[in-house]
Amino acid sequence: MKYPSREVRSHGSGEYSVTDFRKLGKGVILEPGVLVFHPENIELGDNTYIGHYTILKGYYRNTLTIGAGTWIGQQCFFHSAGGLEIGRNVGIGPGVKIITSQHEETSNGPILHAPVKLAKVTIGDDCDIGTGAIILPGVTIGQGVLVGAGAVVTKNLPPFSVAAGVPARIMRQREKK
């Protein structure tokens, strides 16, 4: 295919070597088909599992950190331009999307070309994020939170809450054990 008057570029193949990571803990499993961009800004804790065809979209600045004992299902997409911190012993279902940037709304011109706003996402220890959930920029999810399948998290969730829906809302509190 020919493109008139412009060079065709790519952000890379997503291929990586285990020596490319900022930190790679012991016992990490990266299943076949996992794509990793900017591994020099990615830290994976001990005994972390990353499922088939997941994309870890590191960025040239900020860090994507995944804590020890965390399990990530297949076909997830984590974009860490604004920074992404996932705690220890977190379960993340297949198809979860975590986004840390968005275009600012403008009154004129295409939004696609508007400035990009970066906002860190933090997920506390011991959380469970249901299949197909989407977590938007700037959200903090407290320790022990359960996010229902398909939820769209647009606001912070306090520790030990259960949230579901679009947009996600708190349904109840869990007991601390």
Domain at 134, CATH number? 2.160.10.10
Shortest CA distance to 89 belongs to which of 126, 121, 122?
126
For the question of whether the overall pTM of this predicted structure is more than 0.85, the answer is yes
Domain assignment present for residue 24? The answer is no
Domain assignment present for residue 136? The answer is yes
Domain assignment present for residue 58? The answer is no
Domain assignment present for residue 100? The answer is yes
What is the average pLDDT score of the chain? 93
Write out pLDDT tens, residues 95-120.
999 999 999 887 788 888 888 999 99
Q: Which tokens in the block code for residue 31?
A: 């299943």
Domain assignment present for residue 118? The answer is yes
Domain assignment present for residue 9? The answer is no
Q: Is residue 163 within 8 Å of 169, Cβ to Cβ?
A: yes
Q: Is residue 90 within 8 Å of 111, Cβ to Cβ?
A: no
Domain assignment present for residue 164? The answer is yes
- Is 113 in the active site? no
Write out pLDDT tens, residues 48-58.
999 999 999 99
For range 141-168, the mean pLDDT: 98
Which residue in 11, 52, 79, 103 is the catalytic one? 103
Number of folded domains in the chain?
A: 1
Question: What confidence score (pLDDT) does residue 112 get?
Answer: 86
10 Å Cβ neighbour count for 177?
6
Q: Which residues constitute the domain of residue 118?
A: 65-177
Domain assignment present for residue 171? The answer is yes
